[in-house]
Amino acid sequence: MLEGKTFYIHTFGCQMNVNDSEHLASLLLAEGASPASRLEESDFILINTCAVREKSVEKLFSYLGRLKEYKEKRKAVIVCLGCVAQLYRQELLKKFPYLDLVVGPHQYAAVPSLLKNLAEERKILTAWKRGWTDLPILPESRESRVSAYVTIMEGCNNFCSFCVVPFVRGREKYRPLRSILDEVRALADRGYLEIHLLGQNVNSYRDPESGTRLPELLEKVSSIPGIEWVRFLTSHPKDFGPELVEAMASIPKVCHQLHLPLQSGSDRILALMNRKYTREEYLEKIESLKSRMPDISLSTDIIVGFPTETEDDFQQTIEMVEKIKFTSIFSFRYSPRPRTAASRLKDDVPEEVKIDRLIRLQSRQKEIQLELHRQLVGQKMNVLCSGPSKKGNLHAGRNEAYQVINFYSPVDVSNRLVTVRITGYGPYSLQGELED
């Protein structure tokens, strides 16, 4: 047992990493440890990492560098977990010799045992596992009390040339349907209203026992009493078929909101990225979605400065952004990742050009978001309130389109679905007032 011990988890990365940290917290809570509100008060410091982009690794290294003083003053045990741990292993221990453990994504279940039996010799535990491993998740470990992440698969078989995921998360593994539904039912019983089904490529989900695919899974999750909204991410365009479009359009509780990574608007660059679809095929999928759900909110990922990208290639990406009018985009400068096919290409787009293209892309997207938000003023919409806003005496939440809304309410409406009338807007959020 770890009774009397405290832990602090710092998470880098996406929703999958956040959910992984919730599982890690559950494992430690089950052993009697308790969460520390501050890093300075913790016996165990666990850093859950992301290796998808070079910038995230640089942030991690900077963070790890600042932990040396806690090792010296408090004698805290420091653990690096996740994708960077899987990818760099020995390099981490060489660069940060005060690390006690380096643990890959497939070995989280072993963390409590490792912490209870720390040897003098530092350990690396990054072995792969082929099958699915269900980890416990306790209610008190979840970040939200109303919206929950539920992982349904892990890994990826696509090998996009820029992406390190197959090398740190492994090949695709699918969680049994019965386990997913059990978790969602338990969440509904506790008053959760929204479910995010997670995976690196959720479209490929197939129940290992029955063969059930994602459209059927969406229907089964939506049928659980108490659940009001269901979302899923991330989707790969090549696997997004008409059955999934129909499921989104016909199942009332599935939100008309989708994150569908484009990455580039140039067919030449898409081929170099090994994305397995063309710009026209992507547009056809968008048209299919919009024809069945005119109100659909779309977000995407875009990389600028991929090897050999020309100004014309970049302009084709801008054209796609202007044509589709995404509600939001996540845009990044290309950085080569270890072991990927693209890392063997010459990174020949100058850094200043990458920066310039990213600024232009984000500037155009900001204009698009301002116009989309302007059109919402005066509308009433359902908002899932997450709690007090960081912007003064307001509440904050998200609508079905996953847009942030800050609104005034004379009473506490945290963890509830409420109706809000939109009264104002900015490029990244909306303002409103609670409706009676």
Residue-wise pLDDT tens for the chain (436 aa)? Answer: 799 999 999 999 889 999 999 999 999 999 999 999 888 889 999 999 999 999 899 999 999 999 988 888 778 999 999 999 999 989 999 999 999 999 999 999 999 999 998 865 668 999 988 889 999 999 999 999 999 999 999 999 999 999 999 999 999 999 999 999 999 999 999 999 999 999 999 999 999 999 999 999 999 999 999 999 999 999 999 999 999 999 999 999 999 999 999 999 999 999 999 999 999 999 999 999 999 999 999 999 999 999 999 999 999 999 999 999 999 999 999 999 999 999 999 999 999 999 999 999 999 999 999 999 999 999 999 999 999 988 777 999 999 999 999 999 988 999 999 999 999 999 999 999 998 7
**270 part of a folded domain:** yes
Residue 61 sits in the same domain as residue 209: no
On whether residue 131 sits in a domain, the answer given is: no
119-141 pLDDT tens trace: 656 689 999 888 899 999 999 99
Tokens of 145: 């009390």
Same domain, residue pair 31 and 169: no
- For residue 390, being part of any structural domain is answered with yes
CATH number where 59 lies: 3.40.50.12160
Domain that holds residue 409: 380-434
- Provide the β-strand partners of residue 333: 304
- Cβ proximity of 317 and 326 under 8 Å: no
Whether residues 353 and 410 fall in one domain = no
Q: How far apart are CA 215 and CA 202, in angstroms?
A: 10
Residue 80, Cβ neighbours under 10 Å: how many? 26
Does any domain span residue 333? Answer: yes
Same-domain status, 197 and 162: yes
- Of 322, 356, 372, at which residue does a domain stop? 372
Q: For residue 340, is it within any domain?
A: yes
Asked if residue 91 and residue 149 are part of one domain, the reply reads no
Buried b (16+ CB within 10 A) or exposed e, 30-45: ebebeebeeeeebbbb
* Residue 283 domain-assigned (yes or no): yes
- Residues 332 and 405 grouped into a single domain: no
Q: Which of residues 352, 372, 392 is at a domain's end?
A: 372
On whether residue 132 sits in a domain, the answer given is no
CATH number of the domain at 428, please: 2.40.50
Check whether residue 32 and residue 116 sit in a common domain.
yes
What CATH number corresponds to the domain at position 262? 3.80.30.20
Supply the mean pLDDT for the chain. Answer: 95
| Tally of structural domains, the chain | 3
Domain termination residue (choose one: 372, 393, 412): 372
Question: 119 and 206: one domain?
Answer: no
Looking at the domain assignment, is residue 162 inside a domain?
yes
The helix, strand and coil proportions of the chain, stated in percent and rounded to the nearest 5, come to 40, 25, 40
Same domain, 417 and 340: no
366, 403: one domain: no
Name the residue type at position 290: K
Q: Are residues 205 and 281 in the same domain?
A: yes
Claim to verify: residue 103 and residue 149 sit in the same structural domain? no
Q: How far apart are CA 253 and CA 248, in angstroms?
A: 9
Can you tell me which residue has the tokens 């996953």? Answer: 402
